[in-house]
Structure 1
């Protein structure tokens, strides 16, 4: 079957809106570290709502999420493959740490990049980290799906996701979040409905393990492997999506307080969206609930108590792939920090991904 090539504008919307979801959920650290969705929504209303916002520094910078997502995207945009790509990813992750003033990178990303030795043989490997469960690998991985969107690309997508994720988050809960977001990007590029994405993720996990079990640290990874898949199976069963393509059975979660309670129940330590398993989960829930409506997508993915910039990055980027920039108020993206780089990376990824083979 011939694959339909998405328009380059869909890639541009994915990259730009991933930055919008980040800047909105971050708000210079004020909302990323706020534990109360109702408080965030009250503050947004006092600002005049989404339509009144102009997302640009200094009040609305992008966080470490977009800086590291750009590092991934621009490394992939070089067209390098294999060992050379992994070295380039490591180099760019280390370099990105020079642009973290006021962006609040997570401690696991800081530790991981400090352990990388790009340019040395195997310098992109770091030791297993029993605490490396955070979402720092997930939030920077949508571009991997944009680079490897075709069905035949799946083995490469999984390998690059795992290996790039392990550069900072060498724990299955951390780097499998990268696999999830990359896969969602590939499926979105192919216009697969989000109702199918979770089942596709479960089918991909054995392929990810087939790669991980070749690593020297496989025994340590095996000990911690089960949580990610178990959490996702439980979520999909609760939404009627474990064995069917929907429609999803979503609880109403009509307000910010209800969403905070639901998201917190999925989280490790109660911090919604903080971990590699639940950041993509919050994003998928928001996509399923919001459909083609931009404002509800933001309310559910970027304006909740917890790690709202990371879930906003993932959800808004995926939403852009499906629905484009047209429905989004221009003030949210026209002056976004690093917008030209996001657009340039999107165009290059599209050209590489869909070149005739």
Structure 2
């Protein structure tokens, strides 16, 4: 990313807060997250006077489960604990976080899995393999892992934590490799790695490390290996489509690629017809939005938040990476200045920055 200054504590704060803002704006108390029409969302957005006119604050713009659990992950990492101790800390904070879900629409897989966690007991952060655990609930809360382990030589730590915290709720390769993707993309943003190389780095560098982590940990190895390739295959298809298989581009965009066309494209990336709802396509749509928007916040939101899919999750991931790249430059202050939990988001950002340096 030529011309961008090195990531500072201000970039970290922007990342955590804007991730929450993207979540709150995409969610709109559930009315936009569960609206399957991007054009309808854009019409409602215009009636509100456009993005610049929105003050994302309570009671109308709460954060969703995405930010509550991203905060849980970040605050656990901020304790400085590592390995097994960290796993129990994360599990405990997920259990605690689930008490703060009124009106935040947590996913069923997350609800069920967290109810099985027993932090503090031996292997109490583990849940069984889940053939239906491919949702985006792990991907949406893992960007902070990349902020804790941002350096290229920390890839093993990043992947280890992303896999093990990811499969606390989404114990399926598509689910927890989504966690790896979000964490990895945040670290790439901090490294200022060219966006065109992110997808290839995911499948050629991080996924093999994740596979080794699963083998070395010796838990549910066979089940995971059986379904392993499904994640990379979907990503390879996306990279081929966008001309990014070589990690260099230039990006190939469909023409036109407006609101309606993006809805169809995002649906085609998905498993279920709800774009962004799974571990592979939530970070994929986030990357697609980052590639298309550059440093333009409004364009990022149009692509990552205001579409007919799981838009609060795709926005949470995209906006975190965007904040790491660009800070809050060009973002209307109303979009984030009165955001719910802003203080906690900024505090965890400062702590993660200190630990990562």
Q: TM-score, normalised by structure 1?
A: 0.97
SS in 2 for 1:213: helix
Q: 1:249 aligns with which of 247, 252, 255?
A: 252
Which digits, 9 at most, give the CA deviation of each residue in 1:112-142, with x for residues without a partner? Answer: 1001000101100100000000000000000
Which digits, 9 at most, give the CA deviation of each residue in 1:243-299, with x for residues without a partner? Answer: 131221122453211110000001011011000000000000000000111111000
Q: How does 1:316-331 map to 2 (within 5 A)?
A: 316-331=319-334
Whole-angstrom distance in 2 between the partners of 1:258 and 1:6: 34
Map of 2:66 onto structure 1:
65
Q: How does 1:2-81 map to 2 (within 5 A)?
A: 6-81=7-82
Please tell me whether the aligned partners of residues 198 and 247 of structure 2 are also in contact (alpha carbons under 8 angstroms): no
| 1:5, distance to aligned residue in structure 2 (A) | 5.4
1:117 matches 2:118: yes
| 1:306, distance to aligned residue in structure 2 (A) | 1.1
Whole-angstrom distance in 2 between the partners of 1:114 and 1:193: 40
Map of 1:133 onto structure 2:
134
Which digits, 9 at most, give the CA deviation of each residue in 1:289-331, with x for residues without a partner? Answer: 0011111100000000010000010011111111111210000
Q: 2:235 aligns with which of 232, 236, 244?
A: 232
Map of 1:332 onto structure 2:
335
| 1:194, distance to aligned residue in structure 2 (A) | 1.2
Map of 1:210 onto structure 2:
212
Whole-angstrom distance in 2 between the partners of 1:308 and 1:136: 13
SS in 1 for 2:80: coil
SS in 2 for 1:249: coil
Whole-angstrom distance in 1 between the partners of 2:53 and 2:296: 17
Please tell me whether the aligned partners of residues 54 and 335 of structure 1 are also in contact (alpha carbons under 8 angstroms): yes
Structure 1 vs Structure 2 CA RMSD = 1.0
Please tell me whether the aligned partners of residues 253 and 259 of structure 1 are also in contact (alpha carbons under 8 angstroms): no
Map of 2:225 onto structure 1:
222
Q: 2:301 aligns with which of 291, 298, 301?
A: 298
1:146 matches 2:147: yes
SS in 2 for 1:115: coil
Please tell me whether the aligned partners of residues 178 and 276 of structure 1 are also in contact (alpha carbons under 8 angstroms): yes
| 1:43, distance to aligned residue in structure 2 (A) | 0.1
Map of 1:88 onto structure 2:
89
Please tell me whether the aligned partners of residues 176 and 276 of structure 1 are also in contact (alpha carbons under 8 angstroms): yes
Map of 2:201 onto structure 1:
200
Please tell me whether the aligned partners of residues 14 and 317 of structure 1 are also in contact (alpha carbons under 8 angstroms): yes
Whole-angstrom distance in 2 between the partners of 1:321 and 1:81: 24
Map of 1:98 onto structure 2:
99
Whole-angstrom distance in 1 between the partners of 2:308 and 2:324: 25
Q: TM-score, normalised by structure 2?
A: 0.97
| 1:192, distance to aligned residue in structure 2 (A) | 1.1
Is 67-76 or 198-207 further displaced after alignment?
198-207
Which segments of 5 or more consecutive residues in structure 2 lack a partner in the other structure? none
Please tell me whether the aligned partners of residues 161 and 182 of structure 1 are also in contact (alpha carbons under 8 angstroms): yes
SS in 1 for 2:115: helix
Whole-angstrom distance in 2 between the partners of 1:243 and 1:52: 41
In the superposition, relative to structure 1, how do residues 314 and 253 fare at CA in structure 2: closer, same or farther (>3 Å)? Answer: farther
